[in-house]
Amino acid sequence: MSEVLDKCRAAKAASTKMAAVSGQARNAALIAMAVALRSCSAEVLAANEQDMEAARQAGTPAPLLDRLLLTQERIEAIAQALVKLSKLDDPLGEVVEGRTLYNGIELTRRRVPLGVVAMIYEARPNVTADTAGLCVKTGNACVLRGGSMAINSCVALARVLAAAAEGAGMPAGCIQVIESTNRAATTELMEATGLVDVLIPRGGAGLIRACVENAKVPVIETGVGNCHIYVHASADMNKAIPILVNAKTQRPGVCNAAESLLVDECAADDQLPALLVALARKDVAIHADEHALRIAQDLGIDAAPASDDDWGTEYLDLEISVKCVEGLDAAIEHINRYGTGHSECIVAQDADAILRFTNEVDAAAVYANASTRFTDGGEFGLGAEIGISTQKLHARGPMGLRELTSTKFVLVGSGQVRE
């Protein structure tokens, strides 16, 4: 038996028991997991340093190193998130719908766990803790497949969290981690029909596309974020500049960071100089269309001509594409063509423009006058998130507790039979 199938079977067995564990017991396990993470932080940090050193030697870009890095402060933040999870309302057993049928049968529709949640992710060790915590809270078992770049960190975190959860009374095998870095292990996990109830990939476009196209188990598509900041002609520049800078530079290597700036052609000469200067001061590389390039050159700002590929590129770095559009219609059309359905923003004072933008832009999160960096389960008050869904079935946007549940119909009769 392979490692993957062995651990998937163990998780499947644990999942049937997890569904019967009380909310109080699951919350106690989350507290135990936070305590264990704090007490074992030195072990986790040592494992993370192995990954960081290998990544540095491989010439990994700074934004990706930042995603890989664990610090004492970040571990404490993860522990605090587990404690916060324990204080959130328990979604299991919630009655979504209830009524008496024509025949007297009492029907209720209740929230239940999904079962076994598999995660395939890249250099994001925090996903290990987020997934384990959310799955314990929602009565799911999980199988974790971290990327080779973060393998030592992921395994160390998972072992600490699994031992703590089981020590607090959770079923053995409820938190599983795949230790093999062989690509065949990923394929096995994607094909584990009958064992894995849902697969959630988190990472770059290549990883997500591979899962969507090749998995034989149900997949929730997440994460790729070609996000836009559209500065409308009516924009208040005192808002537009800090929103743009925050969305692009606060943490450029994440999926809710802005990758493209759009401005109205009619206002470009007035608005773009301040916007480009603000980006240049943050060392953002600019890929500009003809009009924006001319303005940048007049300001003495280095910029490169944008190609068609730039409009669809998720840079995940201090780079941005800049395009002048003919107005609101063109901005919406451009975003719906090149965006990835993640997070989009309009900066405007015109209420009609805001209404049209928020109604017509096709994305999981649409903002007016606020940074796209807020698309996050914690910021939305959902607790830690397991990912940000960019599809429309089952879940869309940050996936918190309720998105990790399904429902079942429970019907109670008094001897009714159908004629």
Q: What is the per-residue pLDDT across 74-93, written as a single tens digit (0 to 9) for each?
A: 999 999 999 999 999 999 99
At 261 the pLDDT is 98
Q: What's the count of helices (H) and strands (E) in the chain, helices before strands?
A: 15, 16
When pLDDT is averaged across residues 139-145 and rounded to a whole number, the result is: 97
The per-residue pLDDT for 34 is 98
Cα–Cα distance measured from residue 27 to residue 108, given in angstroms and rounded to the nearest whole number: 25
pLDDT above 90 for 218: yes
In this predicted structure, the answer to whether residue 378 has a pLDDT above a threshold of 70 is: yes
Q: What's the pLDDT score for residue 377?
A: 84
Residue type at position 395: A
Lowest-pLDDT range of 54-58, 65-69, 101-105, 151-155: 65-69
The residue written with tokens 């190193």 in the block is 65
Is pLDDT of 201 > 70? yes
Q: Is 313 helix (H, G, I), strand (E, B) or coil?
A: coil
pTM (2 decimals)?
A: 0.85
Other CB atoms within 10 A of residue 207 CB: 18
Q: Alpha-carbon distance 127 to 70, whole Å? A: 12
Residue 80's pLDDT is what? 94
Distance CA 285, CA 223 (A): 23
DSSP H helices in 260-380: 268-281, 290-299, 308-311, 328-338, 351-360
Q: What is the pLDDT of residues 305-347, one digit of tens each?
A: 999 999 999 998 999 999 999 999 999 999 999 999 999 999 9
**Tokens (6 digits) for 71:** 């610090």
With 0-12 / 13-18 / 19 or more C-beta atoms within 10 angstroms meaning exposed / middle / buried, residue 192 is buried
Whether residue 221 is predicted with pLDDT greater than 90 in this model: the reply is no
Q: How many CB atoms lie within 10 A of CB 299?
A: 14
Per-residue model confidence (pLDDT) at position 391: 86
Task: Label residue 386 by pLDDT band (50, 70, 90).
Answer: confident
Contact (CB, 8 A) for 385 and 131: no
Crossing angle of helices 23-39/72-87, nearest 10°? 170
- If you average pLDDT over residues 352-365, what whole number do you get? 97
When pLDDT is cut at 50, 70 and 90, the band that residue 357 belongs to is very high
pLDDT at position 407: 95
pLDDT band at 6 (very low <50, low <70, confident <90, very high): very high
167: left (phi over 0), alpha (psi -120 to 50) or beta: alpha
Over the chain, what is the mean pLDDT? Answer: 95
Pairwise pLDDT comparison (383 vs 119), residue with the higher score: 119
pLDDT-derived band at 1 (thresholds 50, 70, 90) equals low
Alpha helices by DSSP H, listed for 88-216, are 126-137, 151-167, 183-190, 205-214
Half-sphere exposure of 84 (CA within 13 A, CB side): 17
Closest CA to 267 of 306, 235, 303: 235
